[in-house]
Amino acid sequence: MINHFQSIDQVVEELNRNLYIADRALATVIFLAHRLQKPLFLEGEPGVGKTEVGTVMAKLLDTELIRLQCYEGLDASAALYEWNYPKQLLQIKIEELEKKGKEDIEQVIYGPEFLIKRPLLQAILSSNDKPPVLLIDEVDRSDEEFEAFLLEVLSDFQITIPEIGTLRAKERPLVVVTSNRTRDVHDALKRRCLYHWIDYPSYEKEHDIVMTRLPGIKESLAGQVAHFMRRIRTLDFLKKPGISETLDWASALIALERERLDEEVVTQTLGCILKYQDDIERFADEVWAHGERRQEYLGSHE
């Protein structure tokens, strides 16, 4: 793999240029993952920008992004490959009309053209000049059995298909694995990776994110939004709002042509940042029912 990044500063600059505001710790682990050709394991609360790391890395490296979205019940066939049975059956009928024998038919229908490549096999067999970025998203949602299978694939980047043989990657993809920590991922998988925890952003970082991603927003409003979000995350919610909710809310405020936060607009747009009725009620009881606390949340800066 060609060393695209020559320094950590270059990683920070290129991420910023692609509208991803990263601290130096994240830039360092991205630099090392690329230089050492090691998978990158990103853990953190939902909405803090883990998935976007894989997306922006594909842009920076000018290569293909291959995404495997994990879920409960995900198995090897859905992640690796399946045979195209309808196409095989059609070909069998054609071969039988031509009086082909069983062995000849099997040799034809188990060719690569009848293989449906799922994300892991796509990454292994990528024909691009540059190795792809393989994003394995929300691995904690998959079962432990699939996690063990994934560990085997990440170790060698080769798989054996009985009807075809062993297939190996020409170059190792850059792998980004994300987890929302809904369950503990096995240590064996983490040991194969460089680990980084992405936390909720500081006030300064969130302000910079809003200003970068929404260039039309007034700086004073961006400051109010970042201040409000930092305070609201101190409450014990079922789901604390992440950066994605911050950007959704700021975009809604721009659409409503608001230049500052006030009690009315917060009440009207609370659904942009809180996604559970219990959380909305808790916020109303613990914060919005108290005039002094409302003003604390509406402050324009830290």
Q: What is the pLDDT of residues 127-173, one digit of tens each?
A: 778 899 999 999 999 998 899 889 888 888 888 888 888 888 888 89
3-state SS, residue 210 = helix
User: pLDDT-based confidence at 2, cuts 50/70/90?
Assistant: low
Whether CATH 3.40.640.10 fits 8-80+118-197: no
- The better pLDDT of the pair 74, 128 is held by 74
User: Is pLDDT of 192 > 80?
Assistant: yes
What pLDDT was estimated at residue 241? 96
Q: Which residue do the tokens 């809310």 mark?
A: 249
Q: Whole-angstrom Cα distance, residue 75 to residue 163?
A: 19
Element containing residue 41 per DSSP (H, E): strand 40-43
How far apart are alpha carbons 205 and 221 in whole angstroms?
Answer: 15
Give the start-to-end residue ranges of the domains of the chain: 8-80+118-197, 203-297
Question: Residue 245's pLDDT band (boundaries 50, 70, 90)?
Answer: very high
- Dihedral pair phi/psi, residue 197, rounded to 5°: -95, 125
**How far apart, in whole angstroms, are the C-alpha atoms of residue 283 and residue 268?**
14
pLDDT of residue 90: 86
**1: confidence class by pLDDT, cuts 50, 70, 90:** low
Q: Tokens in use for 161?
A: 């298909």
Per-residue tokens: 31: 């630099």
pLDDT per residue over 77-108, tens digit each? 889 988 888 988 888 888 777 777 777 777 78
Give the whole-number percent of the chain exceeding pLDDT 70: 98
Mean pLDDT of 42-70: 95
Q: Is the pLDDT of residue 114 over 90?
A: no
